[in-house]
Amino acid sequence: MRHEILVQAGCMISFSVLLAASLYLLSVYNRLFTGVKNAWLRQNLSVLVIGMLGMAAFIALEFPSLLMRTDHAGVWGIVVKRIFQSAIIILFVYNITRRVSYIPAVRTMSFARHHAVIFVTIMLAALVIYTLVNYFDNGRNLSELHGALTLAYFNSAVTGLIYTAVRYVELERKRKLSEKEHEVTKLTALKTKAELDALHSKVNPHFLYNALNSIADLSITDGKKARRMTIALADLFRYSINYTQNNYSTVNDEVAMTEVYLQIEKIRFEDQLNYTVRVEEEAGHYLVPRFLLQPLVENAVKHGLKATGKMTEILLEVKGSDTVLEINIADNGPLFPDELNPGYGVKSVFDKLDLLFPEQYEIHFRNHPRKQVSILIHKLMKNEPGV
C-alpha cells in the first residue's frame, strides 16, 4: 500500500514538473534552437520538444494504471511506443496546421476567424492521425477507434485552446508595446519641436535687434536706405512667420532668406561688403533645418567686416549629388583659430543638425585653400508639403 502511494505521489510530481516545463518552453518558443538556421527545422524541433514534454506529463499521470495491467518490462515498452507515437502525432498535426496558417486567405483573416480555422485544423488533423496510429497499432483493425478518437478530441481541444490563449497574450503584449513606442515617439517629437522652437525664438530677436539698430542709424542720415532696409526686414520676418510650423525649409528658401540678411548688411556697409550666391538647380529642392545658413553668414560678416573694417567678400554656394548635399560659406576675414570656440549662432547650427539629421551630417571649418565653413548632409530629403 505504501509503495503504491509513493508511486502515485512520484507520478503526480513528475506530471507537474513536465507540464510546467512544457508551458515554460511554450512561453519562450521564439528563443528555442536559435542556432538552427533553417526556420522549418527550428520550428519543428521547438514544437516537438514542447509537445513531447506535454505528452510525457500525461504518460506519467497514466503510469500507475499501466503498472497494474502489466509488468515493469512491459510498462517501459508501452512508454517507448507511446513516446514514438506521440512524436508522429505532434509533427503531423503541427505541419498540417502550419501549412494551413500560411494560406494567404487565412493569414489575412481577423484574429477570431484565423484562430477558429486553426482550431478546427488542429482537431481534424488530430482525428486523422490518431485514427491512422490506432489502425496500425491494432494490426490494421479499428476495434478501439472510439477511445482513440475521444483522446484525439480531448488533446486537440486542449492544444487549440492553449495555442489561441498564447497568441492572444502575445498579441496584447505587442499592442501595448506598440502603444508605448508610439507614446515615446510622440514625446520625442514634441521634445525635438520644443528644442527647435527655442533655438528659432533666440535667433529671430537677434535679427530684429541688429536690423532695428541699423534702421535707427540710417533713418537720421539716409531715409531711402532706411526704407529699403525696413522692407528687407519685413521680407525676413515674412519668411520666419510662413515657416513657423515647420522644422525644415528648402535650400532655395533658406538661401533667399540669407540673401535678405546680406542685403540688409549691404545697405548698411555699402562698398565694404560684397557677396556671391551660387546654388545648383537640383540642390535647391533639398530640405535643410530652418535658419541654418543665416547664423553662419552673419558670423562671417561679424568676424570679417565688423572685426577688421576692411572689404569683406562672402561666397555662399550649395551643391548636390545623389548621396550628399554640400553647403560652403567662404569669406576673406581672419582665419579660424586652431581651437574654435563657437558662439551661440554657430552652436545653434550644430544643435539643429543634431536634432534633425543625427549622425547624418559633417561640419568642417577650413582655412586652406580658402577660409570656409563646409556642411555635408548625407540624408537627402526632397521638399514635401507639411514637413
Angle at 226 (CA atoms; ends 302, 217), nearest 5 degrees = 60
One DSSP character per residue, 20-67 reads: HHHHHHHHTGGGTTTT---HHHHHHHHHHHHHHHHHHHHHHHHHHHHH
**Mapping DSSP to helix (H, G, I), strand (E, B) and coil, where does residue 339 land?**
coil
List the alpha helices (DSSP H) in the chain: 2-27, 39-69, 72-101, 104-107, 111-137, 145-221, 223-242, 251-269, 293-301, 307-308, 344-356
Q: What is the predicted pLDDT for the residue at 7?
A: 67
**In the predicted structure, residue 66 carries a pLDDT above the cut 70:** no
In this prediction, residue 213 carries a pLDDT of: 79
| CB-CB contact of 313 with 332 (8 Å) | yes
Q: How would residue 361 be classed by pLDDT, with cut points 50, 70 and 90? A: very high
The confidence score (pLDDT) of residue 330 equals 92
Give the span between the Cα atoms of 343 and 345, in whole angstroms.
6
In percent, the amount of the chain with pLDDT more than 90 equals 13
Instruction: Give Cβ neighbours of residue 78 (< 8 Å, ≥ 6 apart).
Output: 66, 70
**Residue 288 — pLDDT band, cuts 50, 70, 90?**
very high
Pair 316, 274: CB distance under 8 Å: no
- The domain ranges of the chain are 2-181, 222-377
User: What is the pLDDT of the chain when averaged over all its residues?
Assistant: 80
Q: Are 279 and 317 in contact (CB under 8 A)?
A: yes
Residue with more model confidence, 368 or 59:
368
Residue 223, pLDDT > 80, answer yes
Residue 210: partners with Cβ closer than 8 Å, 6 or more residues away: none
Q: What angle do CA 351, 248, 236 make, to 5 degrees?
A: 95
Distances (CA, A) of 261 to 210, 245, 267, 268: 10, 22, 10, 11
pLDDT tens, 13-51? Answer: 887 888 888 888 887 888 888 888 888 898 889 888 888
pLDDT > 70: percent of the chain: 83
Return the pLDDT at 387. Answer: 47
Label residue 270 by pLDDT band (50, 70, 90): confident
Q: Look at residues 267, 268, 250 and name the one whose alpha carbon lies nearest to residue 327.
A: 250
Among 118-122, 247-251, 315-319, 328-332, which stretch is predicted with the lowest mean pLDDT? 247-251
Instruction: Give residue for cell 525635438.
Output: 192
CATH of range 222-377; options 3.40.50.720, 3.30.565.10, 3.40.50.2000, 3.40.50.300: 3.30.565.10
More confident site: 98 or 145? 98
